[in-house]
A and B are shown apart, each in its own frame.
Chain A
């Protein structure tokens, strides 16, 4: 065996071992234990696998991966070309073989391959046509399998399914146009502790028959990870109640009502999802969830304080600013949350007590686009008409200064984030 081939095989084996390790339930320092079933546990020494020579037919398969989307009752043909790169005649007998980690396994009757077999001379190539027929009653979902052209398999023993070397992977998504539209794919809002909110999830039945629904909380997403690690949620599901009809009538729109009572002590963010449990074959099991995200925002009652020292008697100029955030404007129609205008309450103290601050300037600013290149080409007819992209709000105060220590207190109102600057002197 040539060194290059040996390296390739060893690389393949190492890759497969790494994949196997990722899914292996038990790992020790020297000996790996791979569970193939409840009844059988096989111990394999790494060294014996890594340097074990295997022989197999050397074929070039093109393509090695196929991904197709088909509706029940439809069919498709996939062409695969196999070239003999070996120095001997190889008999090819393509067959469908199952693989691990697929949502669904193909029924063998769905697939036919022509020619059924072929003796391939060295450097000869042959085109196989894989015909896929999806029956009318097929469940929608993802289906995967391998098409193996020879019986050569990897010497692994940890998988339920043999790993065929001369194979192409075959993936088909069986789908149907949905009979029901989830017009509110997610609910996301900024909420305040102690407040009550109502949201609507609209479902439009565009099919010709009534469709049952049974919305309830999904068990997924109970916790979320952040860069600081795993955090608990701002509140539990019991803060939210869901009411909905049991049926969405054909041609009609139904509303799933989500009522949120944010607990007084809630902090952080809530992540969750509602499984609408839509009883229709056009909706995949995982496609009828509406995610919920609520960021609990608390209006502070304590001020932010900044102590600073001045070395001169020059005037002090204080500027506080915020970028107004138009929070999920398109979802807001379904909520009661109406953002209010931002503002600041400021106090300034020195050794003599409170100092009067003069509001000398209030600035509303923003970025306005006139369209053109930053917009999609079909919106070019809007070029020349003003469109506001961002907005900001600035308050500027001044007061006469004196040498000494000062304390600035800022209470932001309806503001999520703000900036400040303190300038001594003009």
Chain B
């Protein structure tokens, strides 16, 4: 019995190890699951562009794009590409602007609003609870307006706080915005439109 048990354990360990190896082998890079759809003219080297774009997409943790539409326009040997990425996990889409020149793709701009609803709600709550924003709202400003909630990428965040993903909650109608660090649940910067 003891011998059989040891054998069983060994077999089980082998099964688990094999499963782990196969699982790791099967894990697909997130970029390869992206579905690209070109609208209008498709550039000649679209394969290379798609590959590069896939590397530069930055969906918020928990967001998986199910559809990415691309549109391109060419000017002075530069291709301007606009990407709109949508996810079933968010009502809002992420939008990226790229330029492609000399085989190099550069992220020229982005508005990333595809954020899980729970994160979005939590970011708004953290912003509302901020003393500066709360006092601005207490002073009679209308807060009924819909705040925009956007992901701020590390390369932008490092100019204002530190190089990590942050969330921007903005009431544009009253020129108030909070830059929120969701890891620490803190508002790290407030913009009132005055500075």
Closest to A379 in B: B168
Q: Which residues of B contact A253 (CB under 8 A)?
A: 118
Select one of B120, B121, B160, B166 contacting A377, CB under 8 A: B160
**Does B168 contact A381, Cβ atoms closer than 8 Å?**
no
**Does A385 contact B109, Cβ atoms closer than 8 Å?**
yes
A197 vs B3: C-alpha distance when bound (angstroms): 65
**Does B152 contact A384, Cβ atoms closer than 8 Å?**
no
B43 contacts A by Cβ under 8 Å:
no
A389 contacts B by Cβ under 8 Å:
yes
What's the dominant secondary structure at chain B's contact region? mixed
Q: Which residues of B contact A204 (CB under 8 A)?
A: 122
Q: For the side of the interface on A, what is the size category?
A: 20 to 34
Select one of B117, B146, B172 contacting A374, CB under 8 A: B172
Q: How many residues of B contact A (CB 8 A)?
A: 38
Closest to B117 in A: A333
Q: Which residues of B contact A382 (CB under 8 A)?
A: 109-111, 150
Residue in A184, A377, A379 whose Cβ sees the most chain B Cβ within 10 Å:
A379
A387 contacts B by Cβ under 8 Å:
yes
**Does A378 contact B172, Cβ atoms closer than 8 Å?**
no
User: Assuming A188-B144, A375-B172, A379-B150, is B122 touching A330 (CB within 8 A)?
Assistant: no
Closest to B129 in A: A185
> Would you give the 0/1 interface string for A172-191, flagging 1 where the beta carbon is closer than 8 Å to chain B?
00000000011111001000
**Does A376 contact B179, Cβ atoms closer than 8 Å?**
yes
Q: Which residues of A contact B118 (CB under 8 A)?
A: 183, 202, 253
A384 vs B97: C-alpha distance when bound (angstroms): 9
**Does A182 contact B125, Cβ atoms closer than 8 Å?**
yes
User: Assuming A188-B144, A379-B170, A381-B109, is B124 touching A330 (CB within 8 A)?
Assistant: yes
A residues sitting closer than 8 Å to B (CB atoms) are 181-185, 188, 202, 204, 206, 253, 326, 328-330, 333, 374-385, 387, 389
Given A330-B124, A376-B170, A378-B166, 20 other A-B contacts at CB below 8 A?
Answer: A181-B122, A183-B122, A183-B125, A185-B125, A202-B118, A204-B122, A330-B120, A330-B146, A330-B149, A333-B117, A375-B172, A376-B193, A378-B157, A381-B156, A383-B109, A384-B97, A384-B108, A385-B95, A385-B109, A389-B172
Closest 8 CB pairs of A and B: A376-B177, A376-B191, A382-B111, A329-B146, A183-B121, A385-B111, A384-B109, A381-B156
B residues sitting closer than 8 Å to A (CB atoms) are 82, 91, 95, 97, 108-111, 117-118, 120-122, 124-125, 128, 144, 146-147, 149-150, 152-153, 156-157, 159-160, 166, 168, 170, 172, 175, 177, 179, 185, 189, 191, 193
